[in-house]
């Protein structure tokens, strides 16, 4: 099964393996949960099929029963650099002394669901370091600056609406 960053748009991993009741007993059931993400639907399909086929081939070789279920958790999204969401984020960042940088993350957040339901929304980078590792952290000053940025975005959005 491919693991990690596949390319600039695509990543996949085995995230959870569970099963068994004791170390000296062969489990009757094992559950393996994987994830694949890509901003490119064709690449997502291809990597998902590679993962699916790897499990099916492994099960066939070992002569074990397997159920493979592929479920879409959320879709990807792309916001135009000239969209209101991006314009407001960039404007307010500049006003409080931050430099906004637009880039695709390949991650999943509430923004994926909002955008897929027609509510434009951006994910804001908040200064996290070593993300999704046991050493993940944020510098306190970055946390406060992000809160200031969010308040500025809310104010700007409210002013635009009135």
Q: Which residues contact 53 (CB under 8 A, 6 or more apart)?
A: none
Domains defined along the chain, listed by start: 4-62 (no CATH), 84-161 (1.10.150.900)
C-beta of residue 128 within 8 angstroms of C-beta of residue 146:
no
Express each pLDDT in 108-119 by its tens digit: 889 999 999 999
The answer to whether the predicted template modeling score (pTM) of the entire model surpasses 0.95 is no
Q: Which residues contact 89 (CB under 8 A, 6 or more apart)?
A: 100, 122, 124, 153
Express each pLDDT in 38-61 by its tens digit: 989 999 999 999 999 999 999 999
How many CB atoms lie under 10 A from the CB of residue 104? 13
């Amino acid at each position: 099964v491919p693991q990690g960053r596949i390319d600039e748009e695509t990543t996949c991993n085995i995230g959870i393996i569970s099963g068994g009741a004791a170390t000296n007993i062969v489990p009757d059931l094992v559950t393996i949960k994987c994830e694949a993400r890509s901003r490119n639907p064709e690449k997502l399909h291809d990597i998902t099929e590679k993962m699916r086929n790897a499990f099916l081939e492994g099960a066939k070789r070992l002569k074990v029963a397997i159920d493979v279920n592929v479920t879409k958790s959320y879709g990807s999204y792309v916001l135009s650099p000239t969209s209101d969401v991006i314009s407001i984020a960039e404007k307010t960042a500049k006003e409080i002394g931050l430099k906004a940088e637009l880039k695709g993350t390949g991650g999943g957040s509430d923004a994926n669901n909002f955008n897929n339901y027609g509510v434009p929304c951006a994910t804001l980078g908040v200064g996290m370091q070593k993300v999704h590792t046991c050493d993940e952290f944020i510098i306190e000053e970055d946390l406060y600056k992000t809160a200031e940025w969010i308040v500025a975005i809310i104010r700007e959005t409210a002013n635009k609406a009135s």
